[in-house]
Structure 1
Amino acid sequence: MPSQYSVDIPFAASHHQQAFKLIELPPELLALLESDNPPTLNITSSSPSPTTPAYALLNAGTKTYQMRQKNTSNPIMLLKPSSTTPTETDDPTTFIPQPSLCSIAKIEDTIELILQEPETAEKVPPKVNKWHEKFAKSRMEKKK
């Protein structure tokens, strides 16, 4: 019978989860930010119109990106290294801490950046028939 080596790593989740948002950077923006002279980033709001709502814009030098939140079905967990501490039954003088991991945040959505052309920056079509909007609407109707 073959034997397997097992290494257990204790895992814990912090009661105080931190709030994080991840931004998917387009390659050209990443290259600009890693350059010797990176641009200053500013977040502003677009002008709402009768047909389109206001949305967030990320300005990076001469380029403008529309910011959209995307949900993911696979949440990302941010972990930090930690170590075990003695329990009431452990002798603190002989206790040897064991490396462990602690979850400090769970990220369920990311921010997508969409490059806006100068002439279309104010003419972005509204989101239409997104599945998550339909799902949320149907769930609200069921609760009534």
Structure 2
Amino acid sequence: MILNETLRLYPPAVATIRRAEADVELGGYHIPQGTELLIPIMGVHHDAGLWGTDVAEFNPTRFADGASRAARHPTAFVPFGLGARMCIGQNLAVLEAKLTIAILLQRLAFRLSPSYVHAPTVLMLLHPQYGAPILFRSLPPPSHPS
């Protein structure tokens, strides 16, 4: 739930482009075949109409019933895209993130530095404008029962 909420607020790609493979009517608009459409992932993930009034808040419990039920539309959560053009590395990225988080939490305590300024910015990808200084402290090794 925490990883999904993080990906909702800070998706790896802020937008994606798709090309209409055939003429289609979409929301009352005619989209001719070959038209390129920009899908604003960041905009979808921050739409209060889909996610509720707490859209800007970090709320992992919104994913308690799964990603397809987290929003008012089952495909509103698209950090890696959807369908045939979905990111091929999605499963590996999620697995690596979960393993890394688990290892870090076993060995380290951490907190944001007092110098941290929350300023997400877009330069091709979403990233912290001033970095994300984190203070780490080693945890004692776990004691093993004798």
TM-score range, shorter chain: under 0.3
Which structure is larger by alpha-carbon Rg, 1 or 2? Answer: 1
Structure with the larger helix share: 2
Structure with the larger strand share: 1
After TM superposition, the score normalised by the length of structure 1 is 0.25
